[in-house]
């Protein structure tokens, strides 16, 4: 059977390099990063918009609007933390792909997994906002929120590892283990803290939310520096 036609770079892919025997390699088909970034930006923008849609004006204000608005503080707190989280994801995602020109299929699939988790963040955010002050229900909601953030962190670490390996392979050099470990260590802190936050959630939903806010502030600094 004849080899399948590989599209030109203008159509979104690059022809793979030849193998040693001169035949084109099927293992190295690369894709332009532009569509990945555009799709990622769109998903992140929709996720942030969905967060804002869950902010509602008070249904009734028998004690005054100011007091009614103050009573909705869990919604504001959950929104602020989740907005900051998604915003930091966008910043670090942009920095991660800053010097990348093309990506391979593993990177595309891991990026899709990351976006799948991010697009779900509005749900645990709404859950936490509604049940934060409800005792056991609030603790369960905080644990669900933490589990979502842990899944997001795992996907982010896997994405960086896949991207770093791809770039090293493209440049025909070994991945700098020291630099790679430094970045993984900084991102790995999220894995630890999110895991701890899940446990803390069963003690105090408020404290768990505070941990998520503190970690989001930590990641607002450039964690991809080497």
Instruction: Report how far residue 51's alpha carbon sits from residue 90's, in angstroms, rounded to the nearest whole number.
Output: 15
Q: Is residue 24 part of a domain?
A: no
3-state secondary structure of 184: helix
How confident is the model over 189-211, as a mean pLDDT? 93
Within-domain flag for 9: no
Task: Write down the pLDDT at residue 221.
Answer: 73
Is 107 part of any domain?
yes
User: What is the total count of domains within the chain?
Assistant: 1
Does some domain include residue 138? Answer: yes
For residue 4, is it within any domain? no
Residue 226 within any structural domain of the chain: no
Q: In this predicted model, what pLDDT tens digit does every residue of 5-48 receive, in sequence order?
A: 333 334 455 544 444 444 444 455 788 889 999 999 999 999 99
Share of the chain above pLDDT 70, in %: 77
Range of the domain at 38: 31-218
Pick 187 or 155 by higher pLDDT. Answer: 155
* Per-residue model confidence as pLDDT tens digits over 98-112: 878 888 889 999 999
Q: Which residues contact 209 (CB under 8 A, 6 or more apart)?
A: 77, 78, 81, 128, 132, 142, 145
Tell me if 20 is assigned to some domain: no
Establish if 7 belongs to a structural domain: no
> pLDDT tens for residues 64-95?
888 888 888 889 999 999 999 999 999 989 98
Distance from C-alpha of 183 to C-alpha of 190, rounded to nearest angstrom: 12
Q: At what angle do helices 33-53 and 73-96 cross, to 10 degrees?
A: 170
């Amino acid at each position: 059977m004849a080899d399948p036609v590989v599209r030109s770079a203008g159509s979104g892919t690059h022809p793979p390099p030849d193998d040693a025997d001169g035949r084109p390699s099927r293992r190295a088909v690369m894709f332009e990063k532009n569509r990945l970034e555009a799709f990622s930006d769109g998903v992140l923008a929709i996720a942030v918009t969905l967060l804002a849609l869950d902010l509602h004006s008070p249904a009734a204000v028998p004690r005054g609007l100011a007091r009614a608005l103050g009573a909705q503080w869990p919604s504001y707190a959950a929104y602020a933390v989740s907005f900051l989280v998604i915003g930091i994801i966008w910043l670090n995602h942009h920095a991660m792909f800053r010097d990348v020109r093309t990506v391979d299929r593993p990177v595309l699939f891991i990026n899709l997994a990351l976006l799948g988790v991010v697009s779900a963040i509005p749900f645990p955010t709404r859950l936490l906002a509604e049940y934060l002050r409800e005792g056991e229900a609030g603790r369960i909601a905080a644990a669900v929120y933490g589990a979502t953030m842990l899944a997001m962190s795992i996907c982010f670490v896997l994405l960086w590892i896949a991207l770093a390996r791809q770039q090293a392979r493209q440049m025909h050099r070994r991945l700098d283990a020291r630099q790679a470990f430094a970045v993984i260590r900084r991102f790995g802190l999220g894995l630890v803290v999110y895991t701890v936050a899940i446990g803390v959630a069963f003690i105090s939903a408020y404290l768990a939310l505070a941990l998520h806010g503190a970690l989001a502030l930590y990641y607002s600094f450039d964690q991809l520096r080497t």
